[in-house]
Amino acid sequence: MDNVSEHLEHLVRVIPPSVLEWFQPDAKHVILQAAALGLISHLFFKTFEPSAIGFVLWTVVLAGGEFFLFNQDLAGVTLSNVAVLSVLLFLGVYLATLTLSIGFYRLFLNPLRRFPGDTLPALTKWQAFWVAKYGQTHHFFWAQHQKYGYYIRVGPNELSVADIDALPIIHGNRSKFPKSPWYLKNINEPEPGLFSIMDWDEHKAPKDYDRIGQLVRAAGQIFETGERFDASLWTELLAFDVMGDLGFGDSFHMLESGELHHYLDFVHTALKFMCTLAPVSWSMPLLSLVPVVKRTREVTARFFAYGASRFKLRLAKGPVKNDVFGFLLSAREEGGLTDAKLESDARNVLLGGGDTTAVLMTRKPQDEVSGLFRDEPYDARVVNTLGGIILDGKHVPKGTKINVHGWSVHHAPRNFARPEEFIPERWIEDSGFKGVHNPSAFIPFSQGTYQCVGRRLALQESRMFLVEMFQNYDFQIAPELDPKAYVVATESYLTITKPALPVTVSKIVKT
């Protein structure tokens, strides 16, 4: 300890006295020094933005360095003469200056200031965090687009686009825009699966059903009892049972029990947890260091644990190509896929093919609310610009996050006339429908490299569902259901969380 003190004292002696004067615990010097360093830090961070953990470590090192300089006479340090308050003053002024400098830049100097939008989102993403917490991102973005137009600023470094003409630039097959930090690997996820891979080249490299009969029989049993049929619930049971079969060679047996498997609770809770934090994705690495809601942490842990157990059971069967996972196992044997990545993709198979398909099947057959079928918010993808581009005649600098918001694209009157109404004739040629109809603006599965890999499966499953169900039964929406209220009640956590959709079932008598 004496040797350390001697070295530190020697270091202090070689520093010129004029420099040391700036590090005396004098309020004026402390404030000026902290303010200057705050401005310099902002200039540095604009080019080399630190991670959340990196910034915390930098702050700790900075505080330690200032503590040393403010307490040069280490041999005589006592509790009565340590300049702790000077260090706290320094940190307070430093962080305040850094915050004000960042805020000023975002509002008045950032190139994105030329795009319209509310002031608060331009300053911080914490408003988006609050909106996402309640699953209202799809409604919020659509309201912003209605207010400001097709190109809006929704974050300090983020744009939302509802112009279909920009889709080829951002999501076209030749676009090489990487994914944004939104797709940082999930907490407790050892390796990112295909969904979470952010590098473009790495992402592109991996590249008749009895369950529907069970659902038809379940509808028949409900018809006989006279009870109402919850279309939201039963289509979700169907979709996840199908994906259990296709993903792991065994369903969740929910159509047999008529109840949600506990894994679906894991799915919805984990998605809500992750999507709430997505607007402030930089904070995700810190979550392992701070406490969160106990149930959320427990459910998220069980979500990963259950997926791991199903993965191990399916892994033991080997690469038999009778399900989706069989093809992934074959790819592993050819090289390039680790067990950890396969386990992550196993969860993605269930999620991507289950929840999203359930939304589609819930909406399409219901006349009063099937117009919602064109309003999938989960088709939005967030990408980072590789270099500066021009959007809406304005320069967008490198590193800007751009979100093509499908919900807003589908609601735009210049793409679809009377978008809130269910008008199936709009999709039929020579039907006599009059009004704007732009099929290229229909993007429920996104486009390009990052489009949904299960698109054909979802459409095929939905077609089979419609044919089997509506050949046998007629469904009528419960009279008390308000279609508009049903839309408002939906919540978006990557996929749609739906309220109950009660319908009455009547058997079709075939003659």
* Boundary-marking domain end, from 67, 88, 109: 109
Q: Do 378 and 296 reside in the same domain of the chain?
A: yes
Res 428: pLDDT: 86
- Please report whether residue 223 resides in a domain: yes
- What values do phi and psi take at 386, rounded to 5? -70, -35
Q: Do 195 and 77 reside in the same domain of the chain?
A: no
Q: Do 247 and 100 reside in the same domain of the chain?
A: no
| 17: three-class secondary structure by DSSP | helix
Three-state SS letters, 146-213: HHHCCEEEEECCEEEECCHHHHHHHHCCCCCCCECHHHCCCCCCCCCCCCCCCCHHHHHCCCCCHHHH
Per the CB < 8 A criterion, the answer to whether 167 and 404 are in contact is: yes
Average pLDDT over residues 33-49: 89
Q: Do 227 and 99 reside in the same domain of the chain?
A: no
Average pLDDT over residues 189-203: 55
How many angstroms from the chain centroid is the CA of residue 377?
11
Q: Do 213 and 359 reside in the same domain of the chain?
A: yes
Looking at the DSSP bridge assignments, the partners of residue 394 are: 391
- Please report whether residue 140 resides in a domain: no
* Ramachandran class of 379: left when φ > 0, alpha when ψ lies in -120 to 50, beta otherwise: alpha
* Ramachandran class of 135: left when φ > 0, alpha when ψ lies in -120 to 50, beta otherwise: left
Q: Which residue range is the domain that position 206 belongs to? A: 164-507
Average pLDDT over residues 220-245: 74
Res 321: pLDDT: 54
Q: Do 103 and 169 reside in the same domain of the chain?
A: no
DSSP string, 103-137: HHIIIIISGGGGS---HHHHH-SHHHHHHHHTT-H
Res 152: pLDDT: 97
- Please report whether residue 292 resides in a domain: yes
Amino acid at 347: R
In the block, residue with structure tokens 């705050």:
38
Per the CB < 8 A criterion, the answer to whether 251 and 241 are in contact is: yes
Max CA-CA distance within the chain?
104
How many angstroms from the chain centroid is the CA of residue 400?
17
User: What's the sign of the alpha-carbon dihedral 139, 143, 146, 151?
Assistant: negative
Contacts of 322 (CB under 8 A, 6+ apart): 249
Q: Do 403 and 284 reside in the same domain of the chain?
A: yes
What is the band of 35 on the pLDDT scale with cuts at 50, 70, 90? very high
| 452 is an annotated ligand-binding site residue | yes
Res 432: pLDDT: 87
The overall average pLDDT reported for the chain is: 75
Where b means 16+ CB within 10 Å and e means fewer, 106-126 reads: beeebebeebebeeebbebbe
Q: Do 180 and 64 reside in the same domain of the chain?
A: no
Average pLDDT over residues 259-271: 75
Per the CB < 8 A criterion, the answer to whether 470 and 359 are in contact is: no
Query: Between these two residues, 151 and 177, which has the higher pLDDT value?
Result: 151
Q: What is the pLDDT of residues 118-140, one digit of tens each?
A: 999 999 999 999 999 899 999 99
Split into its structural domains, the chain has a count of 2
Q: In CATH, what number is assigned to the domain containing residue 369?
A: 1.10.630.10
Q: Do 360 and 221 reside in the same domain of the chain?
A: yes
Tokens of 325: 């996972």
Query: Between these two residues, 310 and 356, which has the higher pLDDT value?
Result: 310
Q: What is the pTM of this model?
A: 0.71
Residues 310 and 266: their CA atoms lie apart, in Å, by 14
How many angstroms from the chain centroid is the CA of residue 226?
40
Residues 224 and 217: their CA atoms lie apart, in Å, by 11
* Boundary-marking domain end, from 109, 139, 154: 109
Per the CB < 8 A criterion, the answer to whether 73 and 20 are in contact is: no
Report the relative pairing of strands 491-493 and 495-497 from DSSP bridges: antiparallel
Q: Do 347 and 249 reside in the same domain of the chain?
A: yes
- Please report whether residue 471 resides in a domain: yes
- Please report whether residue 137 resides in a domain: no
Number of C-beta neighbours around residue 289 at 10 A: 9
Res 506: pLDDT: 85
Q: What is the pLDDT of residues 81-107, one digit of tens each?
A: 556 777 888 899 999 999 999 999 999
- Please report whether residue 133 resides in a domain: no
- Please report whether residue 264 resides in a domain: yes
Q: Do 192 and 330 reside in the same domain of the chain?
A: yes
DSSP state of 428: S
| 503: three-class secondary structure by DSSP | strand
Q: Do 75 and 210 reside in the same domain of the chain?
A: no
* Ramachandran class of 99: left when φ > 0, alpha when ψ lies in -120 to 50, beta otherwise: alpha
Res 495: pLDDT: 77
Res 293: pLDDT: 58
Average pLDDT over residues 301-307: 75
- Please report whether residue 389 resides in a domain: yes
Percent of the chain with pLDDT over 90: 19
* Boundary-marking domain end, from 109, 131, 154: 109
467 pLDDT higher than 70:
yes
| 42: three-class secondary structure by DSSP | helix
In the block, residue with structure tokens 């992750």:
274
What is the band of 370 on the pLDDT scale with cuts at 50, 70, 90? very low
